[in-house]
Structure 1
Amino acid sequence: LLALAKRRLNLDLLKQAMDSTAKLSAFVIFILVGARVFSLTFYGVDGHKWVEELLVALPGGVVGFLIFVNIFIFVLAFFLDFFEIAFIIIPLLAPVAAKLGIDLVWFGVLLCVNMQTSFMHPPFGFALFYLRGIAPPEVKSSDIYWGAMPWVAMQIILVIIVIYWPGAVTYWIDNTKVDTTNIKIEIPQIEMQNSNPMRLMEQR
């Protein structure tokens, strides 16, 4: 729409956009397939049990687990993007969090806030690459990296807020109670004429 508004939309530009979209979609699909294969193999050799026992035995209990997980995810975000972390690492951490009695909704939001830093810090921050692509030539990559640091610091502060104030995430969940016993799903029955196959055969 922006290219159309600026009267720069043509068939070559549209073809280039479609090619880039197809390549990116293929990359994401192969990442998901690879993550699934890795997960199945890892689970097949009971690797998840070893990871669970290792993380549960961390000193400090729940606090020690949260500190380790947040530092671990933050460091991984320097080398892996959101998809690899979400589909490979989180399935290993979620069962441990559930075993420690951590609210999984709150835990998921906490990890998402932490993983958002992967878009903003080098060397593989996608937001930095996007900005590098549209920035003037006189703007150095180092300037872009340093300019992203305040935003990374804000994300870290947000992680601390979510940890020390869980109600920021779970307020509506805790204060909205739904009685599942009163939920009824009624499916209207549709009477079809001549639905009996024997009658249809007799009519023929």
Structure 2
Amino acid sequence: MTDAALGLTQLLLFLFFIMLGFPIAFTLMAMGLFFGYLGMQDRVFDLLVQRTYAVMANDVLISVPLFVFMGYIIERANILDRLFRSLQLASGSVPGSLAVATLVTCALFATATGIVGAVVTLMGLLAFPAMLRAGYDPKLAAGVTCAGGCLGILIPPSIMLILYGATAGVSVVQLYAAAFIPGISLALLYVVYAIGVGIFKPEMAPRLPPEERNVPVLKIFVALAQSFLPLALLIASVLGSIIMGLATPSEAAAMGSLGSILLAIVYRAFTFQKLKESVFLTARTSAMVCWLFVGSYIFSSVFGYLGGQSVVEEFVKSLPLNTFTFMLLAQVIIFILGWPLEWTEIIVIFVPIFLPLLDDFGVSPLFFGILVALNLQTSFLSPPVAMAAFYLKGVAPPHVKLEDIFKGCMPFIYIVIFCMAMVYIFPGLVTWLPETLYSSGPADGSVPTALDAPPAGGFQEEEEIRLPSMN
């Protein structure tokens, strides 16, 4: 068997094993080491050591545990409950007010956590029952809760964008700036849809009773000042310092973690037990991310060494593709991969297959990353995996069927696809903010080197992975 055939066999066997439910990170390492030994003999163990060290020394990934810790502290400070109640009062006169309050709460909370499971579960316990009690259609209520909870993987500070930046060697700062307008636009489209349903199909989203709509302005202001403003200030300070270049993502995440602790103390919701739980959950999530990166680096390096990446590139180049059809093909493949796989696996394993081809079709890795981030919203909403739907089902009343949750998610999948089309037609939605903020930087338009993500392993060519100790 030739090296290229070994590489393709490696990829196919990996797909087979993850469909059987094997742990992703360790499957990647096992497949990489096995096929690497076949193609490289003992040198694969040098590769294992150096790729593991490269992940642990990647300072871009330092922000991951810090942002995760910030999210878990805020989650346990009961801020979400206060925020939803205040936004419910503020939007009482708007058609579909409970759905609007849910989506705005999700968008704000998503910027503080970026943890989809936490947001969907908490909103499933808080907002979903409130919508059902108000007479909302269960499918609409489910779709609003799931779609709103998924915004955290797109709206900065998104953990997904950090991982993409580390994988593609793209500045996380520029990714945050590029994702800001598309993320807010997607959230606004969700809100417009909810208001439209409230106007044209009021039976699906009944208006609140007059006593809940006619709330004194002073009461609304006090409620917003107590819940909305502190969280908004924390988020604005973290994102603002990153996007304006005042701090690296890791530095801003560290300050955000401290701010979340202070916020929990102010709300009298800080205890040693909650701190212990947050630290434990942060360690577990961070370990998963790091081992996933180690496995993907080893797997992709061996795949590139064996020539598998070259075969894929030559095959794609042989197709009669232009820029539009290439982008369409790539996004369709990622959309389909979102059915059986989670976003982490898609980012660190399959997205690198497309990265070497971007130059051939004149596509910026920054622009491609934002389209992928939008596309991955659907991976949480589309069956059969649809993790957001399963998170909600776990806390929903027994009479709410999983089928109803899936149906409720479908309109929001269409909205995501529409948003992707708008971003492709009007690329300025992605490029305007980073170009405006960083136009005075280096000649190549990048932000300062200290803020750049170092190139990750990706699917490298053979000569690029020959380390000194291997020669």
User: The TM-score by the shorter chain falls in which range?
Assistant: 0.7 to 0.9
- Give 1:33-182 correspondences, 5 Å limit: 33-175=294-436, 177-178=439-440, 180=442
Confirm or deny: 8 A CA contact 1:114 1:156 kept in the other structure: yes
Structure 1 CA distance for aligned equivalents of residues 275 and 397 of structure 2: 24
How far is 1:179 from its partner? Answer: 5.2
Confirm or deny: 8 A CA contact 1:58 1:64 kept in the other structure: no
TM-score by length of 1: 0.75
Structure 2 CA distance for aligned equivalents of residues 82 and 179 of structure 1: 32
How big is each residue's C-alpha offset from its partner over 1:16-58, in whole Å with a ceiling of 9 and x where there is no partner? Answer: 7766655444443333232222111111112112212222222
Higher relative contact order (CA 8 A, sep 6+): 2
1:2 corresponds, among 67, 75, 78, to 78
Pick the structure with greater CA Rg: 1
User: Match for 1:139: what amino acid?
Assistant: V
How far is 1:110 from its partner? Answer: 0.9
Supply the RMSD in Å over aligned alpha carbons: 2.8
Question: How many aligned positions are there?
Answer: 180
Structure 2 CA distance for aligned equivalents of residues 89 and 18 of structure 1: 31
How big is each residue's C-alpha offset from its partner over 1:129-162, in whole Å with a ceiling of 9 and x where there is no partner? Answer: 2211221111111111111111111111111111
Structure 1 CA distance for aligned equivalents of residues 338 and 323 of structure 2: 22
Greater mean deviation of Cα atoms: 60-69 or 23-32: 23-32
Structure 2 CA distance for aligned equivalents of residues 137 and 16 of structure 1: 29
Structure 2 CA distance for aligned equivalents of residues 144 and 127 of structure 1: 9
User: Match for 2:311: what amino acid?
Assistant: W
Structure 1 CA distance for aligned equivalents of residues 364 and 279 of structure 2: 41
Structure 1 CA distance for aligned equivalents of residues 282 and 393 of structure 2: 19
Confirm or deny: 8 A CA contact 2:326 2:361 kept in the other structure: no
Confirm or deny: 8 A CA contact 1:56 1:100 kept in the other structure: no
How far is 1:88 from its partner? Answer: 1.0
How far is 1:81 from its partner? Answer: 0.8
Structure 1 CA distance for aligned equivalents of residues 347 and 386 of structure 2: 16
How big is each residue's C-alpha offset from its partner over 1:164-198, in whole Å with a ceiling of 9 and x where there is no partner? Answer: 111111123445622537xxx9xxxxxxxxxxxxx
2:228 corresponding residue in structure 1: none
Q: Per the alignment, in what secondary structure is the counterpart of residue 358 of structure 2?
A: helix
Q: Specify whether residues 179 and 23 from structure 1 end up closer, same or farther in structure 2 by C-alpha distance, changes over 3 A only.
A: closer
Structure 2 CA distance for aligned equivalents of residues 17 and 120 of structure 1: 27
Q: Specify whether residues 24 and 128 from structure 1 end up closer, same or farther in structure 2 by C-alpha distance, changes over 3 A only.
A: farther
Q: Per the alignment, in what secondary structure is the counterpart of residue 180 of structure 1?
A: coil
User: Match for 1:2: what amino acid?
Assistant: N
TM-score by length of 2: 0.35
Q: Specify whether residues 16 and 172 from structure 1 end up closer, same or farther in structure 2 by C-alpha distance, changes over 3 A only.
A: closer
Greater mean deviation of Cα atoms: 83-92 or 125-134: 125-134
1:197 corresponding residue in structure 2: none
Confirm or deny: 8 A CA contact 1:56 1:65 kept in the other structure: no
How big is each residue's C-alpha offset from its partner over 1:52-100, in whole Å with a ceiling of 9 and x where there is no partner? Answer: 2222222232122111111101000001111111111111211101222
Structure 2 residue ranges without an equivalent (≥5): 1-76, 80-263, 449-471
Greater mean deviation of Cα atoms: 91-100 or 30-39: 30-39
Structure 2 CA distance for aligned equivalents of residues 10 and 126 of structure 1: 31
User: Match for 1:82: what amino acid?
Assistant: W
How far is 1:10 from its partner? Answer: 9.6
Q: Per the alignment, in what secondary structure is the counterpart of residue 384 of structure 2?
A: coil
Confirm or deny: 8 A CA contact 1:32 1:87 kept in the other structure: yes
% identical equivalent positions: 34
Is 1:29 aligned to 2:293, yes or no? no
